[in-house]
Amino acid sequence: MLFFKRGRVPGARSWELKTGLGKEYPKVLAQLDEALKDLDLEVKKVESQTLSDYKPGPDGEEEMRYFVRLKGTLTPKEARMTGWRIDNLAALAACMSLIVSKQGKSERKELEHIIGEKVGRWRALTLTDAFLRSGYLEEDEEGLMKIGWRTRAELDLESLMMLIAESKPKGAIVEEPVEVSESAEPLEVEGPAETVEAEFEDQASTEG
Amino acid sequence: MAEKTGKVSGRRELEELIQTCVSIENRQFNPFLLDISEALRIIRRHAGSWKTLGDNLLDMRAITSLARVVGLQSANLRFQSSSLFVDPGMVKQKVESMSREQLAGFLLLSWHPVVELEQLTEASTKEALDYWQKMLSFFERRKRLQPGPFDSPGAMDTPELARMRVLEEKAFGRRLEDLRREMKEQVGEEGRIDYWTFVRAKSFADTVLRAQMVSFLVSYGMAMLEKKREKMFLIPRDPPFSTGQGSPLSLPIPIPMEGVAPRAK
């Protein structure tokens, strides 16, 4: 139930798990979480208030959604397998840091501007749409962009904000700056937490 | 005169205040840029002079907008005290100064992708295969419905479509006008015609259709329905028509199937 995607959103709702596993489903999930540790996976619980498209359960109980996600993080080499380009990852990081710093909401124009600075205007437009479609971003009634369900499920925002706040300008870290091209040569990236070997290559985008 | 000028400037001040609050709500400005006590002073200064409903509504909108800004200030303070707080200006500056690779690296260090499996399971594949094998071919399933041989696609003209009642041959207004003229021709010198004499047609379906059209003529004031004891008469009217001339009463007229004999020619 947790692994297979049914419909648009993966994972399972609390009432679905309750129906399938019984009232004691949290215990079953705890056991599953323990078993998944060996595979570097974990069960992640996301509260309904952060998931705009989730409806309350049939018995009126507070709705939760459970996902299975990677416990650790991906190395740049592994990230290549997701099919994401370096542009996509950088744009998502920029987007999320700006939205979080503005307390969860930001104007679309502002987001497009900050992404556009890194990847160009046209790519910024398509990437913003792609983030909206995949659930990283959501648009509210006033047209403001806010954090989507996928961000809540997948991103450790505290860690991201910490990394960005502690970062030093490019020149101060990378002694020999590497020219970045769309064909993406192997790159050296250094973060405050650890050195990341970035070996991104241009790959087919998975937007949409 | 002074009072009027005061009201105009008061309205302008409130509208500007509301506009500022809306901009703050849309994250265009920091909520702390608005001096709440000054805003309240403006609202209070004009509160006594509002007399009309519009002015009072404006006053209410200003207070509500201000309350929302106070709410945002409170949320802002709570956010600033949380571990997620970083100044937006600083974030922008940092992001602008960082390379794409640095940003991507930071994201990877905070990213735990959700597992989403879309491939089929053995059981569901077996089920699907079983269903596919048991399913009859399209032509065999079609035979069961007995729809007859396939018709080759052809073209149809407007009269043909009208005959099939897919298209209306005439516009509704035109049909009403034709019926009114027909009524006028039939009334003769008497100026009226028996309802059933006029409505009755060759078939029951046509009679119902004529009765329906007549009901529109009466409602639109193009004809009058006169009831005298058991008999009903139709009196056509001449233009100009107005719906005001139409009958204000609703008169149900049952059309018995047996009672509708073919109209005498």
| Structure tokens that stand for B66 in this block | 């201000």
Same domain, A194 and A129: yes
Residues B91, B77: Cα–Cα separation, whole Å: 18
A73 DSSP assignment: -
Question: Alpha helices, DSSP H only, in chain B?
Answer: 2-25, 36-47, 53-80, 88-97, 100-110, 122-134, 138-145, 158-163, 172-187, 195-199, 204-219
Angstroms from A33 CA to nearest CA on chain B: 13
Dihedral sign for Cα A7, A9, A15, A18, please. positive
For residue B17, what are the CA distances in angstroms to A174, B36, B63?
Answer: 48, 10, 10
Asked if the Cβ–Cβ distance from A90 to B110 is below 8 Å, we say no
- Residues of B within 8 A of A96 (CB-CB) are 107
Angstroms from A94 CA to nearest CA on chain B: 6
Whether the CB of A158 is below 8 Å from some CB of chain B: the reply is yes
B118 DSSP assignment: -
- Does the pLDDT of residue B125 top 80, yes or no? yes
- Does the pLDDT of residue A13 top 60, yes or no? yes
Cβ atoms A206, A82 nearer than 8 A? yes
Same domain, A129 and A172: yes
DSSP-assigned letters across all residues of B239-260: SSP-GGGS-SS-------TTT-
- Does the pLDDT of residue A145 top 60, yes or no? yes
Asked if the Cβ–Cβ distance from B108 to A89 is below 8 Å, we say yes
| pLDDT score, position B157 | 76
B261 DSSP assignment: P
Asked if the Cβ–Cβ distance from A164 to B118 is below 8 Å, we say no
Angstroms from A173 CA to nearest CA on chain B: 10
Per-residue pLDDT of B161-189, as tens digits, reads 777 776 666 677 788 888 888 898 888 77
Asked if the Cβ–Cβ distance from A154 to B98 is below 8 Å, we say no
Angstroms from B70 CA to nearest CA on chain A: 15
- Residues of A within 8 A of B25 (CB-CB) are 142
Number of domains in chain A: 2
- Does the pLDDT of residue B6 top 70, yes or no? yes
- The architecture in CATH of the region B172-245 reads Orthogonal Bundle (1.10)
B224 DSSP assignment: E
Q: Which of A22, A42, A70 is the last residue of a domain?
A: A70
Of B212, B111, B160, B17, the closest CA to residue A90 belongs to B111
| pLDDT score, position B202 | 85
Residues A110, A102: Cα–Cα separation, whole Å: 11
SS3 A147: strand
Residues B35, B222: Cα–Cα separation, whole Å: 67
Give me the half-sphere count of Cα atoms (radius 13 Å) on the Cβ side of residue A6: 8
Q: For residues B142-161, give the mean pLDDT.
A: 74
Residue at A205 is within a domain? no
Cis geometry, peptide bond prior to residue A186 (ω within 30 degrees of 0): no
Asked if the Cβ–Cβ distance from A174 to B99 is below 8 Å, we say yes
Q: Which of A24, A39, A70 is the last residue of a domain?
A: A70
DSSP-assigned letters across all residues of A7-22: SSS-SEEHHHHHHHH-
Cβ atoms A87, A134 nearer than 8 A? no
Of A143, A136, A153, the closest CA to residue A110 belongs to A143
Domain ranges (residues) in chain B: 2-80, 172-245
Per-residue pLDDT of A33-61, as tens digits, reads 998 888 889 999 887 654 444 454 555 55
Same domain, A97 and A183: yes
**A82: nearest CB among B79, B91, B113:** B113
For residue A30, what are the CA distances in angstroms to A13, A25, A46, A68?
Answer: 16, 9, 15, 12
Residues B247, A143: Cα–Cα separation, whole Å: 51
- A107 — phi, psi (to 5°)? -75, 145
pTM for the full model? Answer: 0.50
A207 pLDDT band (50/70/90 cuts)? Answer: very low
Whether the CB of A196 is below 8 Å from some CB of chain B: the reply is yes
The neighbouring-strand residues paired with A145 are A106, A139
- Does the pLDDT of residue A203 top 50, yes or no? no
Question: Alpha helices, DSSP H only, in chain A?
Answer: 14-21, 25-36, 76-79, 86-101, 108-119, 121-134, 149-154, 157-166, 170-173
Whether the CB of A69 is below 8 Å from some CB of chain B: the reply is yes
Same domain, A64 and A82: no
Residues A72, B167: Cα–Cα separation, whole Å: 66
Whether the CB of A166 is below 8 Å from some CB of chain B: the reply is no
Same domain, A123 and A183: yes
The parent domain of residue A16 ranges over 12-70
- ipTM of this complex prediction, to 2 decimal places: 0.76
Per-residue pLDDT of A162-183, as tens digits, reads 888 877 765 544 444 434 344 3
Residues B255, B213: Cα–Cα separation, whole Å: 14
Same domain, A168 and A90: yes
Same domain, A55 and A102: no
CA nearest to A151 within chain B:
B111
| pLDDT score, position B112 | 92
| pLDDT score, position A193 | 36
CA nearest to A74 within chain B:
B108
* CATH code of the domain covering residue A147: 1.10.10.10
